[in-house]
Structure 1
Amino acid sequence: MYIQPFQTWLQEKGRGALTQQEYLRTVRVLARWWEASTGKPFDPDQVTARDLHDWISQMKTVEHLAPSTINKRIAAIKTYWSFLTEAGHSTLNPTDLVRIRRASSLWQTPRWLTRPQQARFLHLVRKETNPWKRTRNLAMVQLMLQAGLRISEVVDLDAEDVDLERGTLVVRSGKGGKYRVALMNPDLKRAMEEWGKMRGETDSPAWLLSERGKERMTRQGMHYLIRKFLDQLGLADYSAHSLRHSFCRNLIDAGQPLQVVAQLAGHEILETTRRYITPSEHDLRKAVDSISESKE
């Protein structure tokens, strides 16, 4: 699969660590699918455009992945084959015949939780009976809901980055390696102060710790915990990133200007922020249900 050379190539192209991980993960997903479909070891030089279209069809019809997810995977394999052809590992580029399809505005809209859903989500977090886990988990989710941090930014947060007196957070690992300062509102500050007391003194520089109490929380661990709460609410189509989306939407609903939302969220371009003024699927369903003669 030339995984290591591909990663080195991505590094030389200036791709970030998270992008590298996502691209390598996509190549492995494609390789597993191809081997299961053909019964042969994965050989990128044997993969055809027809194979790739069949793989995309499975993602749509069997896995029911969102168009945005499929497009990200297509972009990843296009980059992969650019590397393969440039390095001479593949004589043809089958991705030349594969197109990234423009998703409808419905699917492009981020999935955020409504205010009642956010309240029920936080209620589930607070029902944890273990005080250590409860305070840590509440600080974790409030960092996303009240300050709009990405999962990677939450995980990478160090104790020295948290200034409870000033109510600020230093985000050193923002998207694209950008540095910014995030602000704490009273809800987040309260959750962070409670976790700070529970966390106590430790040799680990990490702000959020794993259940062993010594190691930094992982992205996988965060995804697992948030996924558990979302599943309990029946929000199967939502993800951990939906908490950050909810932060942005809450600001829009509060009447904050797009420029303010963009700066607080760490968006590089304003067009990214404009997505939050687009009606969500929930908004659209609520609209069409409002004119139905059948009231359930």
Structure 2
Amino acid sequence: MEEFIVYLREEGNRESTIVTYVGIINGFKKWYEESFGQILDPQRVSALDVQNYKQYLLKVAKNKQQGRLSPKTVNKKIEGLRTYFRFLKHTGVIEVSPVDKVKPQKIQKRSDSVRWLDRNEKNYLVRVMNTPGEWRNKENLMIRNRAIVYFMLHAGLRIGEVVNLEMDDLDLVKQIIYIQDGKGGKFRRVEMNKDLLTALKQWLDIRPLDKGQQVFISQKGPMTAQGIQSMFREIRIKTNIEDLTPHALRHTFCHDLAVKGVSLSLIADLAGHSDLNTTRIYIRSNEEERRKALSMLSAEE
């Protein structure tokens, strides 16, 4: 284990990641020794053993906070074992890794897990982002944060895309944003609507000119993903929307376009989706929209 830890450090893993790996190995060791009544010997572990452990994690093992482990969590544990046994193979302890033949658990993509804001939540968010009193009367802070929110809400940018946005990526004359897609390095363009353009111009009017190319900055320097996440924690408190996240705003952008009747291909183009199946989830209506549609039906024609 000590050699494995040294190996992980040499590979550039963070200490928190190393702790996670060690926990995964110890969890497997405990299960193995309780199941077989003998000390774990990596040379005796078979692919069937690892497969049985995977089934144990899926059906028996429980998370203290959430109950049974999710397939995603199980896959992370199996991937941790994969790294460990590959290390043992690399160092000559074993000849073949028993994990290589164990496939990850398929994760069912559920469209109902996608969260977007309904009309009331969206209106309240916009009201908070336009009320200086909500920002301790620090209007400059409100103006910057509003622009960040609007880039997600009105242009569908991911948090990483907002962080990496540079002044040269903005064409205020043609009202276009040029975005390098963080998932694959492809470029796409999104035209700015009136609300976003206004919010952006107000931010650029007060943004210091000597702070480099990055569009969004703080007192300490360029805005980071952690900084934006911290900003959203504050917004969640102000709006009382507990699951408000940057990606929820991106989902709201896509869903609102779908509700307006925009084609899937155009939504995919604006959002930077490479697969239309990713975009189809926004066709799903929420409860309010379904009730409104059904209320238009009458028992008498």
Normalising to structure 2: TM-score of the pair?
0.71
* Corresponding position: 1:121 with 2:125: yes
- Work out which of the residue numbers 94, 100, 105 in structure 1 matches 2:110: 105
Check conservation: 1:144, 1:243, Cα contact below 8 A.
yes
Q: Counterparts of 1:210 and 1:65 in 2: how far apart (Å)? A: 41
Check conservation: 1:142, 1:188, Cα contact below 8 A.
yes
Check conservation: 1:227, 1:240, Cα contact below 8 A.
no
Instruction: Name 1:221's counterpart in structure 2.
Output: 227
Check conservation: 1:230, 1:238, Cα contact below 8 A.
yes
Change (3 A) 1:122 1:96: farther
Instruction: Name 1:244's counterpart in structure 2.
Output: 250
Change (3 A) 1:150 1:25: farther
1:107-256 equivalences in 2 (<5 Å): 107=112, 109-126=113-130, 127-128=134-135, 129-212=137-220, 215-256=221-262
Question: How far did 1:86 drift?
Answer: 4.2
Q: Counterparts of 2:26 and 2:77 in 1: how far apart (Å)? A: 18
Change (3 A) 1:268 1:80: farther
For residues 132-169 of structure 1, the C-alpha deviation after alignment (integer angstroms, 9 at most, x for no partner) is 21111001010000000000000000111111111111
Q: Counterparts of 1:160 and 1:29 in 2: how far apart (Å)? A: 41
RMSD: 4.0
Instruction: Name 1:62's counterpart in structure 2.
Output: 65
Moved more, 50-59 or 175-184: 50-59
| 3-state SS of 1:181 partner | strand
| 3-state SS of 1:171 partner | strand
Question: How far did 1:32 drift?
Answer: 6.9
Check conservation: 2:188, 2:272, Cα contact below 8 A.
yes
| 3-state SS of 2:218 partner | coil
Q: Counterparts of 1:80 and 1:38 in 2: how far apart (Å)? A: 10
Instruction: Name 2:276's counterpart in structure 1.
Output: 270
| 3-state SS of 2:223 partner | coil
Which consecutive unaligned segments of at least 5 residues does structure 2 have? 31-39, 296-301
For residues 56-100 of structure 1, the C-alpha deviation after alignment (integer angstroms, 9 at most, x for no partner) is 9545x5147995xx52x5445555554544452585545866752
Q: Counterparts of 2:82 and 2:200 in 1: how far apart (Å)? A: 45
Normalising to structure 1: TM-score of the pair?
0.72
Check conservation: 1:26, 1:76, Cα contact below 8 A.
no
| 3-state SS of 1:169 partner | strand
Question: How far did 1:124 drift?
Answer: 2.0
Question: How far did 1:181 drift?
Answer: 1.5
Instruction: Name 2:35's counterpart in structure 1.
Output: none
Change (3 A) 1:285 1:180: closer
Which consecutive unaligned segments of at least 5 residues does structure 1 have? 8-20, 291-296
Question: How far did 1:115 drift?
Answer: 1.9
| 3-state SS of 1:153 partner | helix
For residues 217-270 of structure 1, the C-alpha deviation after alignment (integer angstroms, 9 at most, x for no partner) is 111111121133224434334432101000000100111000010000000010
For residues 188-245 of structure 1, the C-alpha deviation after alignment (integer angstroms, 9 at most, x for no partner) is 0000000000103123211000233xx1111111112113322443433443210100
| 3-state SS of 1:223 partner | helix
Q: Counterparts of 1:188 and 1:241 in 2: how far apart (Å)? A: 17
Q: Counterparts of 1:26 and 1:286 in 2: how far apart (Å)? A: 47
* Corresponding position: 1:257 with 2:247: no
Moved more, 124-133 or 94-103: 94-103
State percent identity of aligned pairs: 26
Moved more, 234-243 or 162-171: 234-243
Instruction: Name 2:37's counterpart in structure 1.
Output: none
Q: Counterparts of 1:276 and 1:170 in 2: how far apart (Å)? A: 24
| 3-state SS of 1:177 partner | coil
Check conservation: 2:179, 2:189, Cα contact below 8 A.
yes
Question: How far did 1:179 drift?
Answer: 1.4
- Which is greater in Rg? 2
Change (3 A) 1:55 1:272: same
Letter of the structure 2 residue corresponding to residue 148 of structure 1: G
